[in-house]
């Protein structure tokens, strides 16, 4: 009987695996289609505010995907798939074009958008012609220096350190702000940090959310912000959801706040209406 049950469990397990494989395959096919046509792809923008003055200092561009065949798929699901399949390259290129075109349109309409940060995954960063692509983007859309910046994770910068520094320096020379995303969750040696020409550290939201809850998070926030201050880096607290968290951050070297408390990611029209029009004349 036990044996029989075991076999049934195994069969169920196989069926479930099969179902998941099938979904993954269908998603990948849809994603390939999207990479080719751009259909179902959109960009949302989440504002970043100066902690003390409350002024708008920037925004992060976040990819949204709503394929025709499925409901909306979250970045947590499709970004890893895009990375594994290599589709992140054409998708990332589309995102850059969408953001740059949006910035040009806003500027043409007399609005003054703040710097917009684009997330780069490893494959994009290590693409040989990244810097040339970014240069071309600035030129094609007539963007002022620094209008577009980038966010990278620690793990990208860990290997091939010297080459990473070269690429970062080239991007800096275009005025791009460069942030290390989800800081504290990776394995970067702290001594690397002083050699990296980055401008900003973004403390991962797990530490922000742990602030009131456990001492470990507070210790990490204290250490990271202390280090950033010594190195002259700006600090973004990401994932700030409550007033209590914002209060707790006031004792640390934190320059910028990003999170649901101050503003969720919104589509371009909403972003312009809620955050850009007041800047107009």
From CA 2, how far away is CA 11, in angstroms rounded?
Answer: 14
Per CB under 6 A, 154 contacts ligand C2E: no
Count of residues near ligand C2E by CB under 6 A? 22
Q: Of the candidates 159, 158, 206, 153, which has an alpha carbon nearest to the alpha carbon of residue 181?
A: 153
128 vs 232 by CB, closer to ligand C2E: 128
Residue partners of 220: CB distance under 8 A and separation at least 6: 184, 203, 207
115 vs 239 by CB, closer to ligand C2E: 239
Beta-ladder partners of 56: 49
Task: Assign 251 to helix, strand or coil.
Answer: coil
Residue partners of 279: CB distance under 8 A and separation at least 6: 56, 111, 112
For residues 169-188, which are near ligand C2E according to CB under 6 A? 181-182
Residue 74 touches which of ligand C2E, Mg ion, none (Cβ within 5-8 Å per kind):
ligand C2E
> Residues in the site for Mg ion, rule: CB under 5 A?
119, 151, 181-182, 238
Alpha-carbon distances of 63 from 16, 77, 139, 181, rounded to whole Å: 29, 12, 23, 16
Q: Taking contact as CB under 6 A, which single stretch among the options 27-35, 117-125, 140-148, 189-197 is the one that binds ligand C2E?
A: 117-125
Helices (H), the chain: 2-37, 75-85, 88-108, 122-125, 130-140, 154-158, 161-172, 190-193, 205-210, 215-231, 243-249, 268-271
Residue 259 touches which of ligand C2E, Mg ion, none (Cβ within 5-8 Å per kind):
ligand C2E
For residues 21-80, which are near ligand C2E according to CB under 6 A? 46, 62-63, 74-76, 79
Residue partners of 187: CB distance under 8 A and separation at least 6: 154, 155, 158
Q: 168 with 131: CB under 8 angstroms? A: no
Per CB under 6 A, 260 contacts ligand C2E: yes
100 vs 120 by CB, closer to Mg ion: 120
Residue 197 touches which of Mg ion, ligand C2E, none (Cβ within 5-8 Å per kind):
none
CB of 78: closest distance to ligand C2E in angstroms? Answer: 9
Per CB under 6 A, 259 contacts ligand C2E: yes
Per CB under 6 A, 93 contacts ligand C2E: no
Q: Of the candidates 202, 112, 194, which has an alpha carbon nearest to the alpha carbon of residue 150?
A: 202
228 vs 237 by CB, closer to ligand C2E: 237
Residue 265 touches which of ligand C2E, Mg ion, none (Cβ within 5-8 Å per kind):
ligand C2E
Q: Classify the C-alpha dihedral 136-270-50-112 as positive or negative.
A: positive
CB of 267: closest distance to Mg ion in angstroms? Answer: 18
58 vs 259 by CB, closer to ligand C2E: 259
Residues of this chain that interact with ligand C2E (CB under 6 A) are: 46, 62-63, 74-76, 79, 92, 95, 119-121, 151, 181-182, 205, 239-241, 259-260, 265
């Amino acid at each position: 009987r036990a044996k029989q049950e075991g076999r049934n469990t195994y069969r169920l397990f196989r069926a479930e695996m099969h179902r998941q494989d099938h979904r993954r395959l269908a998603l990948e096919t849809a994603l390939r289609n999207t990479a080719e046509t751009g259909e179902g792809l959109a960009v949302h923008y989440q504002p970043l505010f100066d902690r003390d003055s409350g002024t708008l200092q920037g925004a992060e561009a976040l990819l949204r995907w709503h394929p025709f065949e499925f409901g909306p798929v979250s970045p947590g699901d499709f970004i890893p798939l895009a990375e594994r399949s290599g589709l992140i390259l054409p998708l990332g290129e589309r995102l850059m074009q969408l953001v740059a075109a949006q910035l040009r349109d806003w500027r043409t309409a007399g609005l003054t958008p703040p710097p917009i940060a684009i997330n780069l995954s490893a494959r994009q960063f290590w693409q040989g012609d990244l810097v040339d692509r970014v240069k071309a983007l600035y030129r094609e859309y007539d963007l002022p220096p620094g209008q577009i910046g980038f966010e990278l994770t620690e793990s990208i910068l860990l290997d091939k350190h010297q080459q990473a520094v070269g690429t970062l320096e080239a991007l800096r020379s275009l005025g791009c702000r460069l942030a290390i995303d989800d800081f504290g969750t990776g394995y970067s040696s702290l001594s690397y940090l002083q050699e990296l020409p980055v401008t900003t550290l973004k403390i991962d939201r797990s530490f922000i959310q742990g602030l009131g809850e456990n001492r470990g998070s507070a210790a990490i926030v204290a250490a990271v912000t202390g280090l950033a201050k010594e190195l002259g880096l700006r600090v973004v607290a990401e994932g700030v959801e409550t007033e209590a968290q914002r209060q707790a951050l006031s004792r640390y070297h934190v320059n910028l706040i990003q999170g649901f408390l101050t503003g969720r990611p919104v589509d371009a029209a909403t972003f312009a209406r809620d955050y850009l029009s007041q800047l107009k004349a």
